[in-house]
A and B are shown apart, each in its own frame.
Chain A
Amino acid sequence: QVQLVQSGAEVKKPGASVKVSCKASGYTFTSYYMHWVRQAPGQGLEWMGIINPSGGSTSYAQKFQGRVTMTRDTSTSTVYMELSSLRSEDTAVYYCARDGTVAEPSYMDVWGKGTTVTVSS
């Protein structure tokens, strides 16, 4: 079955960077885009961006432009989301979510369980 397994919780200091991984299995990794979404405590979900695992192209939400980088490793079927210049407001649970359609981005159909990132001095 399709599974997305995310890396473990992280604690970072303000100004640092964090890199979260998401290992996919159960499907052809390069056929489906992958989204990244986050949820801060007490807040709603927020879309961060999307990566095409086939060619590596990305599109980021304007809010995160310049601070987020999404990459992929096709040899291990893993996507990564790196967020730099962390501040306390970046404390959140970060999710990867597979796009539900082949060829062009649409909606999320399968989600990871999330990775908690805490930014604290």
Chain B
Amino acid sequence: ETTLTQSPAFMSATPGDKVNISCKASQDIDDDMNWYQQKPGEAAIFIIQEATTLVPGISPRFSGSGYGTDFTLTINNIESEDAAYYFCLQHDNFPRTFGQGTKVEIK
């Protein structure tokens, strides 16, 4: 089973900041990494696929990087609407596993 270690668990940002969220895999998963955003009471939204590809319709302020075991979600020029819970998913192998999530607060 691939363990995903996501950090930080919580972060507070000011509008306009650049935010980085890390997800480290316990084994090589190529680029089989996705990122999601979830707000309370809402369905999760798919934002980054295959580690670096922005899902159509998602703001270009979001970007992803990484390959193998180290991955990063970056939010540029963060806005108040970006306050949410973000999590990573590996789909390289079964069982699918997730990072523990990051709650992003906007000051």
Contacts and interface: CB of A to CB of B under 8 A. Distances in A.
A4 B43 contact: yes
Given A107-B89, A108-B89, A47 B95 contact: yes
A16 interface: no
A107 B49 contact: yes
Contacts of A105: 94
Interface in A40-55: 43-47
**Which applies to chain B's interface (DSSP): helix, strand, loop or mixed?**
loop
Contacts of A61: 95
Interface of A: 4, 35, 37, 43-47, 59, 61-62, 95, 97, 100, 105-114
Given A44-B98, A44-B99, 10 more contacts: A4-B43, A37-B98, A43-B100, A45-B98, A46-B98, A95-B44, A106-B91, A107-B32, A107-B91, A113-B41
Interface of B: 32, 34, 36, 41-46, 49, 87, 89, 91, 94-101
